[in-house]
Structure 1
Amino acid sequence: MPKAAEQGAHTNTEATVELTAGQLSAIKIEPVGTISFAVEKDEMGNIDYDQDLAVQVFSAYPGKVINALASLGDTVQKGQPLCAIDSPDLIQAESALISATSTLELTTKHLARVRDLHGTNGVSEREFEQVTSDQHTAEGAVRAARNTLTLFGKSEDEIDRVVSTRQVDRELIIRSPVTGRVTARNAQPGLLVQPGTAPAPYAVADLSLKWLIANVPEADAPLFKAGQQVRATVSAFPGRTFEGKITRLAQAVDPTTHRLMLRSEIADPKDELRPGMLATFTIRVSEPVESAAIPMTGVVRNGDGTMAAWVTTDRKHFAQRIVKVGLQDSNRYQVNDGLKPNELAVTDGAIFLSNMLQAPPSD
């Protein structure tokens, strides 16, 4: 039966309950234990691309887009073609190679004739040396022209094809410099492009890392430091945790919102996180603390907002004890006041005892 607290009892004791043998099966009694609680802080933020790994892909030469090969959201490999442009500079470079090749063929034939005549003293030594010099000059011009085309991204086979067919290949292929996802596409047929002039035809981002951007209250600013480990969760993947670390804190607090911007790098090897996702992240702000603990099923919140546990000395009579809780893990509260280690307490079924106070069983 419920009883009022006796005079001189523990100051946090409010009521007592006596249970029958049958009622005892509804609760669980254990000594209060101690565990290590991680001292952590939870904040909210948003996922974004890692802008340090996002590349604006420009053409190295001016021209006009004639074919867009990659679409927004496509996953591309390093070196994969993104678009083709019609480049006057490429046409000029290929024409120079064709001209240099023709000149080399002429000087080669001329050198062969002069070499034969030189063997029979049909030409002077001076003329032979001049023709030989012309041959070397022509060979150098061809090498330079071929090297120029490699700067345009042309392969040796493509260069050989230009030489053999004597026809220019107008397409300059713009390739992805990194493996990642196409995060922006401005390229479309007819777009005029200039080196380094916005907008870039494409943007490609390495998505193995993401940014988590958060604005934390200025009162919490001293808790955060670059290098701290971060655990992030998003509603799209319940039960999953994404690991990372804080990489940057703003130098100043926003004077309007009184919040401090911080940025974390989050590992996302499977590219599951999407920019704009709302994320909850947790950091450890100090070393774990050893403290008395009680399962959440052993604590009841009263109508006045206080938290109460139930203690016993004889496993039959139970006293309600007001407790102050602090940190918590997945299923336990840290008890800062009201319980001592090894004290017998109800660890499961506290709500059963509290209900008995409100609706005591009839005799």
Structure 2
Amino acid sequence: MVLFALIAIGGATLYWSRDFVGLADSRPVEGQRNSSATTGQSGSGNSTEVVDLSDKQAGAVKIGPVGSRDFVIFKTAVGTIDFNENMLVQVFSQYQGKILKAFYNIGDDVKAGDVLFTIDSPDLLQAESTLLAAAGVLELQKRTLARVTVLLKAGGSAQKDVDQSTSDQQTAEGAYKAAKDAVRIFGKTDAEIDQVVDKRKVDSTLLVPSPISGRVVARNAAPGFLTQPGVAPPPYSVADLSTMWMLANVIETDAPAYKVGQEVEAKVPAYPDTVFKGRVTTVGSMIDPNSHRQFVRSEIEDPQHLLRSGMLASFVIRVGDPVRSVAVPAAGVVREGDGTMTVWVTSDNRHFAKRTVTIGLQQDGWTQILEGLRSGETVVTDGAVFLSNKLLLGDAG
């Protein structure tokens, strides 16, 4: 038993000694450095990685002073294009009837007042018939009043007959005016109404004009189609395409950033080089409990009528005033393997020190630097990846 214990103690001692030796061998040897890339110690205690370039190698990079730029605070999202429903009109006839003619097709441009279709309206026929009857009664009452007035002067009638005829004539005038107004509601002009009375001929054809100028975006009208007011589908839909809506549902965390009146820039795949501008007009007052998104609607200017309802659109909404910050060109910033962002600082275009920075926005080829650089320092503006590779590869780079 004593012999067994001594053997166990000796083995543990040997294992501990071997482990200690391994740790000692893993320490860097003093003075061991790469001739092209070196690692020094800064005054703050943080390691500084430096790369030295020859004259020929220095020509592969560009340097410049660190400046400042305005960065726009914005949010991005994806939405769909739709008609501006404030300028989209479903054109119905005011009265039911059978469509006689339809004059425009989808895609045609119309002006306010252009006749879209006509219908055979029994209501118009009844109104014109009532007008003719009222006109006949008025004419009869005028003649009766004139006759009893002459007889009164000749002593052949009493005053009460004249008074009665006067009352009847005034009643007939009121009925005639009401009948004219009833026909005028159908869109008939005074000249057309007078023509109906003069020729004693009714016309049941009702004209249905476009209430706005725009483009026909939907048509369900055809000869023989029976239409009724407010009953879908409408015979025609006309939209003013000078502006369109962009509808989007933004994530809940971005909801507080959106305000009515913010500027919008939208792009659609059909016109990748065209930027459509507009403003936010509506911000939803609730968050969808299922998707946790908020509704945002923007009105987009489209004077050339390029946008189509249903198009997919990506948009940028400016949610704040521009912020002026330190910035370097995007080619001067390198994403390292561990995810950190670095730049290369120099004072003589020969010795370059790598510095870790915190970046913010990236706009128009520039990167916002939040921490790690000061305005006026000289950095690599193009070729930073070359320096990072050379540091990694050493002389082999």
**Shorter-chain TM-score tier:** 0.7 to 0.9
Structure 1 position 328 matched with structure 2 position 323: no
Structure 1 position 208 matched with structure 2 position 250: no
Structure 1 position 284 matched with structure 2 position 318: yes
Structure 1 position 275 matched with structure 2 position 280: no
Query: 2:17 — aligned with what?
Result: none
For residues 214-266 of structure 1, the C-alpha deviation after alignment (integer angstroms, 9 at most, x for no partner) is: 122223333333443322222333142312114121513241x3333322222
- Contact 1:12–1:338 at 8 Å: present in 2 too? no
Aligned AA for 2:181? Answer: N
Structure 1 position 151 matched with structure 2 position 185: yes
- Contact 2:345–2:352 at 8 Å: present in 1 too? yes
Query: 1:251 — aligned with what?
Result: 286
Query: 1:137 — aligned with what?
Result: 171
| Superposed displacement of residue 58, structure 1 | 2.3
Query: 2:11 — aligned with what?
Result: none
1:186-201 equivalences under 5 Å are 186-201=220-235
For residues 267-322 of structure 1, the C-alpha deviation after alignment (integer angstroms, 9 at most, x for no partner) is: 33443321112212212334433321101232244455544322211122223334
Query: 2:15 — aligned with what?
Result: none
| Superposed displacement of residue 325, structure 1 | 1.9
Within the candidate set 51, 69, 73, 2:103 is matched to 69
SS at match of 2:149: helix
- What is the rounded CA distance, in whole Å, between the counterparts of 1:14 and 1:177 in structure 2? 73
For residues 165-198 of structure 1, the C-alpha deviation after alignment (integer angstroms, 9 at most, x for no partner) is: 2111111112222233333222222222222222
Aligned AA for 1:7? Answer: G
Greater displacement, 243-252 / 156-165: 243-252
| Superposed displacement of residue 359, structure 1 | 8.2
- Contact 2:276–2:301 at 8 Å: present in 1 too? no
- Contact 1:215–1:261 at 8 Å: present in 2 too? yes
For residues 86-119 of structure 1, the C-alpha deviation after alignment (integer angstroms, 9 at most, x for no partner) is: 1111001111111222222333333333333333
Pair member with larger Rg = 2
Query: 2:116 — aligned with what?
Result: 82
| Structure 2: segments with no counterpart, 5+ residues | 1-33
Structure 1 position 100 matched with structure 2 position 105: no
Query: 2:40 — aligned with what?
Result: 7
- What is the rounded CA distance, in whole Å, between the counterparts of 1:34 and 1:271 in structure 2? 39
RMSD: 2.8
- What is the rounded CA distance, in whole Å, between the counterparts of 1:81 and 1:144 in structure 2? 26
For residues 17-37 of structure 1, the C-alpha deviation after alignment (integer angstroms, 9 at most, x for no partner) is: 3141x5555543221112232
Query: 1:319 — aligned with what?
Result: 353
Within the candidate set 74, 84, 96, 1:50 is matched to 84
| Structure 1: segments with no counterpart, 5+ residues | none
Within the candidate set 52, 62, 67, 1:28 is matched to 62
Q: Normalized against structure 1, the TM-score is what?
A: 0.87
Higher relative contact order, structure no. (Cα contacts within 8 Å, ≥ 6 residues apart): 1
Q: Normalized against structure 2, the TM-score is what?
A: 0.81
Within the candidate set 221, 225, 232, 2:255 is matched to 221
Q: How many residues align?
A: 361
For residues 46-102 of structure 1, the C-alpha deviation after alignment (integer angstroms, 9 at most, x for no partner) is: 111122332332222121111122322333222222211111110011111112222
Q: Which has the higher helix share?
A: 2
Within the candidate set 42, 48, 53, 1:18 is matched to 53
- Contact 2:128–2:202 at 8 Å: present in 1 too? yes
Aligned AA for 1:243? Answer: G
- Contact 1:111–1:135 at 8 Å: present in 2 too? yes
- Contact 2:36–2:394 at 8 Å: present in 1 too? no
- What is the rounded CA distance, in whole Å, between the counterparts of 2:47 and 2:358 in structure 1? 10
Aligned AA for 1:178? Answer: I
SS at match of 2:101: strand
- What is the rounded CA distance, in whole Å, between the counterparts of 2:319 and 2:140 in structure 1? 78
Greater displacement, 150-159 / 340-349: 340-349
Note closer, same or farther for the CA distance 1:30–1:109 as it changes in structure 2 (3 Å cut): same
- Contact 2:69–2:325 at 8 Å: present in 1 too? yes
- What is the rounded CA distance, in whole Å, between the counterparts of 1:300 and 1:266 in structure 2? 38
% identity of equivalent residues? 48
